[in-house]
C-alpha cells in the first residue's frame, strides 16, 4: 500500500509499536516462527493465534487490564485481553497493522458445538490487516477466526481505547462492579418479520 492510498492514514493508528511493545525483541522472537519467508500472511497470522492458544493458559484472576505483555509472556497465563494484547503487539513489531477488538461471545453455542472460552464476560480478539481482504479477525483465546458467535462492540489500539464498561463512581467506602451479559440470538418468526417491513 502506498502513502497515497486513503486507507494508509486509517491504518497508521494500528501500525507501529504501542505500550505493550516494550518487550519488542522477545515478541519478535516469539512471532517469527509463524512468519517464515514466503508463507501467506493470513496462514501465518492464524498459526500465531493457534500458538498463543497452545502456549498460554487461560486463567482468570492472574492478570488485570493493566498487566503488560511482558508479564503475560513471563507468567504464560492470562485471559482474552492478555492474549489479544500479546498478538496485537507481536504483529505490530513485525510490521503488520493490528487492532484490539472488544466484544462478547454467544453465551450458549449452537447444538453440537463446543462453548467458546470467555463466553461469560466481555471478550477480546485481534484484527489483522490483509491488503487484499481488509480486516480479518482472529481469536487467539479460542484458536479460531472470529465468526457469528463474536459480537464486536468496538476496536482500538488496546483495551484502554475500547473498554466495554467505563465510568466514574464517587462516594465513600469500597466498591466492586460486577457485570454479567448473556448473548442469545434473537429468533424471529413470520409475525416479527412482517412487523419490521410495515
- Sorted by where each begins, the domain ranges of the chain are 6-197
Q: What pTM value is reported for the model?
A: 0.79
pLDDT at residue 107 in the model = 73
d(CA 150, CA 144): 11
Q: Of 12-16, 49-53, 172-176, which one has max mean pLDDT? A: 49-53
Cell of 167: 465510568
**Which of 194 and 65 is assigned the larger pLDDT?**
65
d(CA 141, CA 118): 8
pLDDT at 2 over 70: no
pLDDT at residue 28 in the model = 93
| Secondary-structure class of domain 6-197 per CATH | alpha beta
| Residue (of 1, 18, 35, 3) closest to 160 by Cα position | 18
Per-residue pLDDT, averaged over 58-83, amounts to 94
Which residue(s) pair with 128 in the sheet?
A: 98, 136
Per-residue pLDDT, averaged over 154-164, amounts to 81
Amino acid at each position: 500500500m502506498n502513502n497515497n492510498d486513503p486507507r494508509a492514514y486509517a491504518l497508521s493508528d494500528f501500525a507501529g509499536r504501542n505500550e505493550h511493545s516494550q518487550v519488542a525483541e522477545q515478541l519478535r522472537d516469539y512471532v517469527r516462527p509463524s512468519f517464515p519467508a514466503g508463507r501467506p500472511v493470513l496462514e501465518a497470522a492464524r498459526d500465531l493465534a493457534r500458538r498463543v492458544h497452545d502456549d498460554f493458559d487461560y486463567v482468570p484472576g492472574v492478570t488485570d487490564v493493566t498487566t503488560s505483555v511482558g508479564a503475560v509472556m513471563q507468567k504464560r497465563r492470562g485471559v482474552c485481553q492478555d492474549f489479544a494484547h500479546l498478538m496485537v503487539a507481536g504483529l505490530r513489531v513485525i510490521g503488520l497493522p493490528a487492532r484490539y477488538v472488544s466484544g462478547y461471545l454467544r453465551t450458549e453455542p449452537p447444538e453440537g458445538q463446543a462453548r467458546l472460552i470467555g463466553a461469560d464476560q466481555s471478550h477480546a480478539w485481534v484484527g489483522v490487516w490483509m491488503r487484499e481482504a481488509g480486516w480479518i479477525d482472529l481469536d487467539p483465546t479460542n484458536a479460531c477466526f472470529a465468526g457469528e458467535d463474536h459480537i464486536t462492540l468496538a476496536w482500538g489500539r488496546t483495551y484502554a481505547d475500547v473498554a466495554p464498561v467505563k465510568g466514574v463512581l464517587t462516594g465513600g467506602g469500597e466498591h466492586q462492579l460486577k457485570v454479567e451479559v448473556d448473548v442469545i440470538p434473537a429468533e424471529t418468526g413470520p409475525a416479527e418479520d412482517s412487523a419490521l417491513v410495515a
